[in-house]
Amino acid sequence: MPTQISHRITSNTRLHELARQLRVDSIRSTTTAGSGHPTSSMSAADLMAVLLSTYHTYDFDNPHNPNNDHLIFSKGHASPLLYAMYKAAGAITDTEMLTLRTFGSRLQGHPTPAIPWVDVATGSLGQGLPIGVGIALAGKYLDRRPYHVWVLCGDSELAEGSIWEALDKAAYYGLANLTAIWDINRLGQRGETDLGWNTAAYRQRAEAFGWHAQVIDGHDLAAIDAALATARDTTGKPTVIIARTIKGKGFSEIADKNGWHGRALPPDMAERAITELGGLLDVRVAVTKPEPGESAATDASVEVALPTYELGALVATRKAYGDALAALGARADVVAMDGEVSNSTHADEFAHAYPDRFFEMFIAEEQLVAAAVGMSVRGYIPFASTFAAFFSRAYDFIRMAAISGANIRLVGSHAGVEIGQDGPSQMALEDLAALRAIHGSTVLYPCDGASGAKLTAVMADTRGVVYLRTTRGAYPVIYGPAEPFTVGGSKAVRSSPDDKVALIGAGVTLHTCLAVADALAQEGVPARVIDLYSVKPVDREALREAARITGGRLVVVEDHYPQGGLGAAVMEALAAEESPPRIAHCAVQGLPGSGQPQELMDAAGIGRDHVITVARALLTTERTGSG
């Protein structure tokens, strides 16, 4: 045995025992729970036994030590193995381990950061490795600390495209501080994977993507040790250990047998398995701790000089975003990344000012969001941008980021039919619905340069998944530089106690609402105009007030499909009122094509003239609602 092991695990026998214990505990916890994935844990037990005892450098007593390694189970369903490792490391008790999958236990079916040693939630496959790329990027380019990022992947998830986005970017950025461990146990949920045990094909693919690849027997402890040592010491490129393993290894009744994915062993089988594995064990591992370290203090107190714009000047909110982000760059914790469209999103303003903190992720939106999540794990404030439509490519990553409690800022430009000639493939018309439904998300949508800049700054200090929707075209600045904007706020841009109707817009449609209010004023009808720039959370009190003043006559106008967007946000806020207002809703009807922005907005039913008609119709009806 290599000497690295002997100083903590006293002998090869002890290491074998640890591996057996990890298997036994994976069986015990899942059988107790009555569900879970013991066989997927057993295939990787030898790999993780060696990693834990010798290579994973981690202080379980201080998960905030910035020098700690990172270990991500991209195959999150192997959580019983991870929790067995925690027990072996002395981080949890056997009793807690046996609470697996029960209500209130932090040991959930798939790992989440409810556990202090878990960086991110996994369980939607193919996400752990791209997030590991984000952490490793931070390690190499920002933290410049010696920690290593270890990612355990299953073989089934290697079919996910996101894995190959990760391989591509990890090689491009030369992430030698990243090691992927591929547990090639051949069997997926319902049968063999498409490559089975073809480790040569896996090696060829990984090498073609620029990685250092090693193929080993994943149950040969010496081979594992040598491979991990090489991985840790490789320079210039990331390493993948392609480990041929056996699913259910250690229990002959089910080893390498189909039909045992995601099934706990019945108690009698579990008993036979534990007997075959040598019975109960209580091996403890003294995991190597890194040097103590202090996290770099974030400098949120740095003075940021946000851009200001003249009232009436034509400024696109995407430009205001770029300007404000560049200003926020004064804070060393602010980083940015973009999906190869930074000259459109205006993230390039930041890239030019702070090239060392800007990461080009090319056209790989899943890796774009995953990189942001990884940066968030390391305490940075990541702003990730692309066309709003293309965040739909990474929706599962955004969903999982919310479960991870990640602090990421997503900025989508070119939203709605307003983009014009490029046509519907480039028009985000579902993004407000999709992003509002994300757990704990914040959704912001400024209408002018001033609010765009201010809300960019607000984002930086707003926790969770924060989404900013920006507009392609330039529209007049309507707010002065001193105007405050807050999460959950709104602005009554026009208001009087005599308002007969409230026009509610955000982003580009706020300008439509202003034009409609002007037209109605000509007719002697005072109309309130509300800038609902905080789409989630929404300013319920302002909406209630508008309903009260106008006798329950609200018109919502949005550049988005009718379902789930700004209109739904208003309705959800007011539906349970004692006397709910009437809400007329102008949203994008039909499938748009190409054209000039105003042509498309008119055709979609969100242009000035249509909204005037809708508002007039509402005015002819009885007062209702909270009035």
Question: Of 21-29, 365-373, 495-503, 505-513, which segment contacts a second copy by CB under 8 A?
Answer: 365-373
Q: Which is nearer to a second copy, 262 or 481 (CB)?
A: 262
**Residue 523 interacts with a second copy (CB under 8 A): yes or no:** no
Among 266, 292, 440, 480, binds a second copy (CB under 8 A): 440
Spatial strand order of the sheet with 334-338 comes to 358-360, 334-338, 381-387, 408-413, 465-469, 442-444, 534-536
Minimum CB distance to a second copy, residue 572 (Å): 6
Residue 153: strand pairing partners: 182
Residue 96 near a second copy by CB under 8 A: no
Q: Residue 193, interface with a second copy (CB under 8 A)?
A: yes
Q: Work out which of 35, 252, 295, 496 binds a second copy, going by CB under 8 A.
A: 35
Sequential DSSP letters for 388-443: GGGGGGGHHHHHHHHHTT--EEEEEESBSGGG-TT-GGG-BSSHHHHHHTSTT-EE
Q: Which of 365, 418, 545, 558 is catalytic?
A: 365
**21 scored as a contact of a second copy (CB under 8 A):** no
Q: Shortest gap between Cβ of 92 and a second copy (angstroms)?
A: 16
- If phi > 0 it is left, if psi is from -120 to 50 it is alpha, else beta; for residue 483 that is beta
Which of the stretches 230-238, 308-316, 430-438, 492-500 binds a second copy when contact is defined by CB under 8 A? 430-438
Q: From the CB of 426, what's the least distance to a second copy, in Å? A: 6
# residues contacting a second copy (CB under 8 A): 120
Beta bridge partners of 382: 335
Residue 400 binds a second copy (CB under 8 A): yes
User: Which amino acid belongs to residue 605?
Assistant: G
How many helices and strands, by DSSP H and E, does the chain display? Answer: 23, 19
Closest Cα to residue 178, out of 210, 144, 148?
A: 148
**Hey, what are 116's tokens?**
């202090």
Residues composing the chain: 627
Is residue 365 among the annotated active site residues? yes
Stretch of 96-104, 242-250, 280-288, 376-384 lying at the interface with a second copy (CB under 8 A): 96-104
* Burial degree of 496 (CB within 10 A; 0-12, 13-18, 19+): exposed
Of the ranges 122-130, 299-307, 319-327, 499-507, which one interacts with a second copy (CB under 8 A)? 122-130
Site for a second copy in 137-156 (CB under 8 A): 156
CA angle 590–594–600, rounded 5-degree value: 55
Whole-number Å distance between alpha carbons of 420 and 150:
45
Interface with a second copy (CB under 8 A), residue from 260, 395, 479, 485: 395
Q: Residue from 41, 53, 112, 495 that binds a second copy (CB under 8 A)?
A: 112
- The window from 291-299, 329-337, 483-491, 555-563 that contacts a second copy (CB under 8 A) reads 555-563
> Does 33 participate in binding a second copy (rule CB under 8 A)?
yes
Out of 7, 64, 352, 439, point to the residue binding a second copy (CB under 8 A). Answer: 439
Report the alpha-carbon distance of residue 605 to residue 610 in Å, rounded. Answer: 6
How far, in whole angstroms, is CA 200 from its chain's centroid?
Answer: 33
Nearer of residues 145 and 528 to a second copy, judged by Cβ: 528
* Positions in 590-609 near a second copy (CB under 8 A): 591, 593-596, 599-600, 603
Determine the longest span between alpha carbons in the chain, in angstroms: 90
Distance CA 483, CA 494 (A): 15
| Site track for a second copy across 165-184, x = CB under 8 A | x--xx--x------------
Give min distance, CB of 43 to a second copy, in A: 17
Stated as kind and residue range, the H or E segment containing 22 is: helix 12-33
Could you say which residues in the range 249-308 bind a second copy, by CB under 8 A? none
What is the nearest approach in angstroms of a second copy to the Cβ of residue 2?
32
Q: Which of residues 465-504 bind a second copy (CB under 8 A)?
A: none
Concatenating the DSSP letter of every residue in 526-553 gives: -EEEEE--EEES--HHHHHHHHHHHTSE
Residue number, 250 or 420, with CB nearest to a second copy: 420
Q: Rule CB under 8 A: say whether 355 interacts with a second copy.
A: no
**Footprint of a second copy on 573-592 (CB under 8 A):** 575-585, 591
Torsion of CA 495, 496, 500, 501, to 10 degrees: 10
Between 23 and 585, name the residue whose CB sits nearer to a second copy.
Answer: 585
The residue from 60, 562, 613, 616 that contacts a second copy (CB under 8 A) is: 562
Tell me if residue 233 falls in helix, strand or coil: helix
Catalytic residues: 365
